[in-house]
Structure 1
Amino acid sequence: MLKSNTLRPGKGINSDTRVYHMRMIKSMGVGESIVFYYPRMIAVHNMNEKVGVMDPKSGRVFLPSLVRDSYARLNPTGAYLLENGHKMYFWLGHEIPAQFLLDVFGVQTLDEVNPNQRHLPELDTMTSSQLRMIRTYMQAQRGRYLDLVIIRQGKDQPEHEMSNLLVEDKNNEAMSYVDYLPTIHRMIQTEVTTRPHEVHTSIWSR
């Protein structure tokens, strides 16, 4: 939450942007706010035949396992979808195999991928069908249209925008998740040491 445009420090965000995000957050339900603060990211470069297929009984689509929101989790040979309830980012590593590009975009090199396209091509391949089904299913779970933003690693400007959503990293003038945990731990230890009776009572009262 501290890394969102409502609370993050610094002069890089003007008051209009803060007010817009404050009003937007007030209108969100719990489910929408969860994915807004901690975007959903999945790897789509190594999917088995069960992924992206709808169960006729439940209407659910099997998705790949979630990936933690950190740049360290992005493999340069892979491809990832990240969505925060407002946009969907399709990140392509700079070493992505040519076969994946051929199956999804109909091209063989990363330079041939058009980053301005807002829809995935309808190709007669399993990977293309799986990705389009996943995108449709994710879209159906959101109340607003998810703009598709294609990002080629090290080539496209929106990569910086996406990196700000990787909340486990050190960004937006705030510490990383790894640094944040011991900081919270030290704060708790300080409270326990300086006010043991009050903290003990407070914990048990919850």
Structure 2
Amino acid sequence: MQEVEQEIAETRASIAAEALTPVRDETSDKDPNYEWARMEMEKAQVQGDGLRARQSDASTQVASLRMFAQQMQSDSVDQQDLMRTAKAEEDNYLLYLRKREEARIGDALDERRILNVAIVEPPAAPALPAHSVPLYFLLAFGLAMAFSVAIAFTTEYFDPTIRTPDEAQVVLGVPVLAWLPAPEPAILRPSSFWIGRSKVVVQ
């Protein structure tokens, strides 16, 4: 609390001392407009220096890009030349292979004494196989049917069972006096009985 009162007293003393100090007017020969213009000029000079530095950097980058573009154009021309050279070399290689094959065929014909032979059309691989799957399937189905019919006829031919009186007469060579049909299976008739008022059926 005492410190606060002391600070207040010091502040009041300072205010009183300033009030007793006489006011003096000072004049200067400097023009404020001139000073403002000078400061603005200095700022403009600084900005101009910065812009000139940026312009120099931009000029350097533009020159570098121009050199790069020229180099790319030169490389493109070289690439086109190389592509044309490669195409020509490929054509020459294919021509060499064709001539070599023709020479080989000519030598083979000369060895066999065959003259006046020319290749009308070079051989080519067929787009579809010579034998298709459906054809094999039809052949297999036909063979299976024929084999099944053959087995049925063979089994019937070699079966010794006598089924009719005519077959018995032909096989035994004697007349048939009587013929009994095969007995039919017995059919069980249901029986029923009453339990109380309910009827029960037994199979």
Using structure 1 for the length normalisation, give the TM-score: 0.17
More helix by proportion, 1 or 2? 2
Using structure 2 for the length normalisation, give the TM-score: 0.18
Q: Which has the higher contact order (CA 8 A, sep 6+)?
A: 1
